[in-house]
Structure 1
């Protein structure tokens, strides 16, 4: 055995399953990692199931040494990302790598070299990563916060991956932050005054989402998102197929008192989504539905109690950006959701994000409600000469 590293492109159901299971094996080595549902992970890399592939192409790779799988990576190109302005992160010639796991630095370099070669052959001149696989799924490498488990829909990586990626010629392109919030603690007086003022404004209505009309409200939320985030770094619009897919996937974890839509003069202009942290139960069942995991998961989904909460998405229509009304709507929604989470669900801890480190408006809101940064993710970049 000479220890030679061989990188194999993979395709097909059986090899995709190996790719997913290899990632699960790597995750199991990390004390604070949370095993996700295998069926969901398989679906994300299946071109027949994930609508992301309706505007993207990808190649998965597995690294082997002496016949043993020792790493994995994806190389992928999002056609919609190529159409975005370059100053927003993507743009013409920008491909991505993701699903990065490696046994050691030699394997890491071989995997990155292979992904870069594939992207270069596809005409790409720059690479961003890790982004696994859509920017709306798990963007960035965790570089701080490894001492506690991630919340729902957030990645978890060992600290040494950063050094291996930077040694391969990558530099930070953007930082994504999450913020810890004490849900039981009332907001500062200034926030309470802003919220009370908003309630006196007859033009403003803040309502819970209506789960009996979830398809309608999901479409409203994602329409606002496409508008509100359209100028942000890394933005790629949701397609109608992705809107329908996301709505279906999110419905089981939608609890009406935790999700709000704000209207001004009857027009929906802002939203805030909050999810109970399903990772707590996934850790308990080790990410497996059988033989008894499904029972514990379904029981938890009926009414999560003492659950941590995550605010993964919020947005205000662009026409209101930089206005006092925008921040007022945000404070009104987050204040009502905080109260409902604490009283109805017994929540103690919340997490807001991810938030771009240079998104001054959102950072200001996070600071004003006295939340603190608890995790940082970095998206790296490298020119493909």
Structure 2
């Protein structure tokens, strides 16, 4: 009989314990980057996160002898049901100190999903595909970049032991961005630069809300046929824009226009994890000032491309690849020249998205992290 007790997260104190558990789990792991606690609290707060406008979630804590030893969420998202299939429940925000706590937590999440009428359980998704999807299964030796998760190696075995099987892997690619492109990529970029129909422009932060809408609407269009796709709602687009604004630098974000129409974009951000690791998750009293100062003109060794897309009507055309390479090269020049970055990360990319994998690999990028999503019939 298990000595693990499960209780739902209800009070402010519960939510604090839910967030703070990660510091206990990873206290001896030098690759882990403490997230900003305020960001995690905002993610799970229905009053702040507009994801809750189309989804509901329950959170639980696992305790043993009064000590918190694990946490988990379970969620039902109406947009997931519409786009991934009826009966698809999900779970995430998963952390555990041992396998016994993990088993009880996963079983608790599954029981709630059954109560909601779900017939399949998928995870980890924390809380949506746009947040931190998947479980890290390779690349534990390297700290994750901003907006990507990090997990204990033991989690994979615990999840499989609960009856889960792989449904999809998500890959991130790393590349040394200091060398200029050669060969095919260089020729495509040079030809595109001479094409009067194509204009690559940096985002205009004076019109930030409009620019964010252009980018995220392009994202919804470009990714709409991808596995796992769930559209961002207008409220989520506005919320994402507000969160991203402090880490958006015009030289690192470009929109490609064809005959004056936006048809592609690439969003690149400094690896904010390098800037926050020493803050230990705390913005106050001094962390906020430190972060603001560091963001004035960040010097991070690594940059990350979390989002990139080409309008669906151009998919499968030579122009789609050309626009992607032009965006990569123009941003690379500024990342190296203006920000002194040395390495870049693309991703995540679906393991069967051959087009995006080819784009990532042509400059010489290699996979540095693999994240796995599992599912199980309930």
Assess same fold via TM > 0.5.
yes
The count of residues paired between Structure 1 and Structure 2 equals 378
SS at match of 1:127: strand
| Structure 2 gaps, min length 5 | none
Equivalent residues in 2 for 1:193-272 (5 A)? 193-272=187-266
Which sits farther off after the overlay, 350-359 or 29-38? 29-38
User: Quick check: 2:271–2:300 contact (8 Å CA) kept in 1?
Assistant: no
RMSD (CA atoms): 1.1
User: Quick check: 1:28–1:35 contact (8 Å CA) kept in 2?
Assistant: no
User: Quick check: 1:180–1:371 contact (8 Å CA) kept in 2?
Assistant: yes
Which sits farther off after the overlay, 189-198 or 12-21? 12-21
What is the distance in 1 between the residues matched to 2:221 and 2:28? Answer: 40
What is the distance in 1 between the residues matched to 2:312 and 2:127? Answer: 27
Which sits farther off after the overlay, 299-308 or 337-346? 299-308
| Structure 1 gaps, min length 5 | 85-89
Which sits farther off after the overlay, 61-70 or 330-339? 61-70
User: Quick check: 1:73–1:115 contact (8 Å CA) kept in 2?
Assistant: yes
SS at match of 2:226: coil
- Match of 1:136? 130
Does residue 66 of structure 2 align to residue 67 of structure 1?
A: yes
SS at match of 1:272: strand
Does residue 301 of structure 2 align to residue 307 of structure 1?
A: yes
Which sits farther off after the overlay, 138-147 or 28-37? 28-37
What is the distance in 2 between the residues matched to 1:295 and 1:37? Answer: 14
Does residue 14 of structure 2 align to residue 20 of structure 1?
A: no
In the TM superposition, residue 355 of structure 1 has moved relative to its aligned partner by 0.4
Q: 1:99 aligns with which of 90, 93, 105?
A: 93
Does residue 164 of structure 2 align to residue 170 of structure 1?
A: yes
- Match of 1:122? 116
SS at match of 1:314: strand
Q: 1:362 aligns with which of 347, 356, 362?
A: 356
In the TM superposition, residue 82 of structure 1 has moved relative to its aligned partner by 0.2
In the TM superposition, residue 3 of structure 1 has moved relative to its aligned partner by 6.5
User: Quick check: 2:71–2:93 contact (8 Å CA) kept in 1?
Assistant: yes
Equivalent residues in 2 for 1:276-295 (5 A)? 276-295=270-289
Which sits farther off after the overlay, 281-290 or 255-264? 281-290
In the TM superposition, residue 299 of structure 1 has moved relative to its aligned partner by 1.1
In the TM superposition, residue 366 of structure 1 has moved relative to its aligned partner by 0.9
TM-score by length of 1: 0.96
What is the distance in 2 between the residues matched to 1:290 and 1:48? Answer: 22
In the TM superposition, residue 320 of structure 1 has moved relative to its aligned partner by 0.3
TM-score by length of 2: 0.98
